[in-house]
Amino acid sequence: MPTTASSLLLGGVAIIAMLSAGFSALMSRHALHAKREREMREAIDLLRLHYDAMGRMDDEATPEGILEFALKLSRMLHDPTVRESTIRVLREGIDSADDHSPDVIKGTDIVYEEYKILLRMRPDLATAFIQSIVSGILAFEKRWPECAGILSSHVTRVVASPVEEAQRIVRAADRATGLWSVPPIDAVAA
Amino acid sequence: MKPTGGMGATVREAIRALKPYGAAPIVIVTLEALGVGGMAAGAPPVWVIVLSALLFGAFFLAEERKAEWRRREQELDFEALERKDGAAVRRKLDRRLQRTKNKNQPTLFDGEESANANDS
């Protein structure tokens, strides 16, 4: 019966082809889900590290400007009301939102000066500050898929100069939202 | 010389290689075997193909749903961490900031004290 044999062969080939295509689609989805789950696990670990580092900053020796800045960054990254704006700003580019007005530069200098003093006097607190900044920013990037890869081009800068990079991000988000003011110039200067 | 030794090792190797892909390879091999077996038993090929596609589609959707649940669970873990640990740490630091600000606040007597220090 040649007809039955050929239809059986054709049917078998069709099933194998269809299921192979399905398997390949399933595997690509599988890889995508696995990647996202890995990112979420990293985000959770980074967030835990962020809060742990912030907890270590609860010390009498932590300067006011550093405390205020760390709190501002943490709120900005995890506040649902400004999240969309922060994501948009990060997507559009941090550099374009740089503010070179004298007030901002003064505020930037104050936090940076405080950080340099802290590094000499209490390196443990300076380390906690940097850890809280880097882990907070990276946790945010891993958590929101819209941000995927946005900060990868800034990773070198985040590692090389975390304070400046964090300030750049805060300024960028500040411009977009209008909710967050520039670093606490008056409070620190007082 | 065991004639099935090589075959057994190959099967074990194949199972090890397919392990990361979960149940998908088993489902696919089963569907293929059932489909070809069904056609060999005289079932109409078109219906066999349609049925295999439907069964595989159901499996695909179930896998997607499972991944979605796993992701949602992780997102809830993240949000819980933000709400509980995050709020507690920020409250603690807010109090610390307030104390530091109060400490740094100049008092009415500051000027007097420095004047006295200058006098003496």
pLDDT surpassing 50 at residue A185:
no
Nearest to B49 by CA among B61, B68, B36: B36
Considering only CB atoms, A58 lies closest to which of B64, B71, B96, namely B96
pLDDT at A182: 40
Distance in Å, alpha carbon of A53 to nearest chain B alpha carbon:
10
Q: Which of A19, A64, A74 sits opposite B101 (nearest CB)?
A: A64
Residues B25-51, mean pLDDT to the nearest whole number = 88
Q: Is residue A6 in some structural domain? A: no
Q: Count structural domains, chain B.
A: 1
According to the model, what pLDDT value does residue A151 have?
A: 67
Is residue A69 scored above 90 in pLDDT? no
pLDDT tens sequence across A58-67: 988 888 888 9
In angstroms, the separation between the Cα of residue B118 and the nearest Cα of chain A is 22
Among all residues of chain B, which has the CA nearest to that of A10?
Answer: B45
**Token reading at B20:** 């990361």
A108 closest CA partner among A190, A182, A22: A182
The pLDDT of residue B74 = 92
Measured between alpha carbons, how far is residue A54 from residues A66, A125, B89, B96 in Å? 11, 9, 7, 12
Greatest mean pLDDT range, A39-43, A102-106, A150-154, A158-162: A39-43
Residue A62 — left, alpha, or beta (φ > 0 → left; ψ -120 to 50 → alpha)? beta
pLDDT, position A170? 65
| Inter-chain touch B78–A14, beta carbons under 8 Å | no
Length of chain B equals 120
Distance of alpha carbon A142 from alpha carbon A44, whole angstroms? 9
Interface test with chain B among A1, A13, A26, A118, by most B beta carbons within 10 Å:
A26
Question: Which of A62, A68, A57, A54 lies closest to A184 in space, CA to CA?
Answer: A68
Domain count, chain A: 1
Looking at per-residue pLDDT, the higher value among A86 and A102 belongs to: A86
Percent of chain B predicted with pLDDT > 70 = 82
Contacts of A19 (CB under 8 A, 6+ apart): B28, B31, B32, B52, B56
The pLDDT assigned to A114 comes to 84
Best of B27, B59, B78, B84 to substitute, by most chain A Cβ atoms within 10 angstroms, is B78
pLDDT reported for residue A184: 39
Band the pLDDT of A186: cuts 50, 70, 90: very low
Whether residue B114 is contained in a domain is answered as no
Q: Give the span between the Cα atoms of A152 and A39, in whole angstroms.
A: 14
pLDDT at A183 over 50: no
Nearest to A48 among B35, B71, B81 (CB): B81
Torsion of CA A68, A73, A79, A83, to 10 degrees: 150
Would the pLDDT of B70 be above 90? yes
CB contact under 8 A, A64 and B100: yes
- Is a pLDDT exceeding 80 seen at residue A153? no
Residue B19 within a domain: yes
| Residue ranges making up the domain that contains A163 | 36-189
Rounded to two decimals, what is the model's pTM?
A: 0.73
Ramachandran category for residue A99: left, alpha or beta (phi over 0 → left; psi -120 to 50 → alpha): beta
**Confidence (pLDDT) at A189:** 38
State the greatest distance between any 2 C-alpha atoms of chain A, in Å, as a whole number.
Answer: 98
In a domain? residue A129? yes
CB contact under 8 A, B52 and A19: yes
Residues from chain A contacting residue B100 (CB–CB below 8 Å): 60, 62-64, 67
pLDDT tens, position by position, A40-57: 999 999 999 999 999 999
Using CA atoms in the order A77, A79, A85, A86, what is the torsion angle rounded to 10 degrees? 0
Say which range, A84-88, A109-113, A167-171, has the weakest mean pLDDT: A167-171
Query: pLDDT digit string (tens) for B92-109?
Result: 999 999 888 887 766 655
Range of the domain at B85: 9-106
Contact criterion met (CB < 8 Å) for B82 and A54: no
Give the ipTM.
0.71
Q: Which of B25, B49, B71 sits opposite A14 (nearest CB)?
A: B49
Predicted confidence (pLDDT) at residue B72 exceeds the cutoff of 70 = yes
Average pLDDT, chain A: 76
Q: How far apart are CA A128 and CA A133, in angstroms?
A: 9
- B97 Cβ neighbours under 8 A, 6+ residues apart: A64, A67, A68, A71
The C-alpha angle with vertex A59 and arms to A54 and A65, in degrees rounded to 5, equals: 70
Contacting residues for A91 by C-beta, under 8 A, at least 6 apart:
A146, A147, A150
Number of neighbours of residue A98 by Cβ within 10 angstroms:
13
| Lowest-confidence region among A100-114, A167-181, B82-96 | A167-181
Give the DSSP H or E segment for A151.
Answer: none
B113 domain-assigned: no
Which one is predicted more confidently, B116 or A77? A77
How far is the alpha carbon of A28 from chain B, nearest alpha carbon, in Å?
Answer: 11
In a domain, A18, yes or no: no
Q: What is the pLDDT of residue A180?
A: 44
Residue B115 within a domain: no
Residue A2 has a pLDDT of: 47
Which one, of A44, A147, A35, lies nearest residue A87 by Cα?
A147
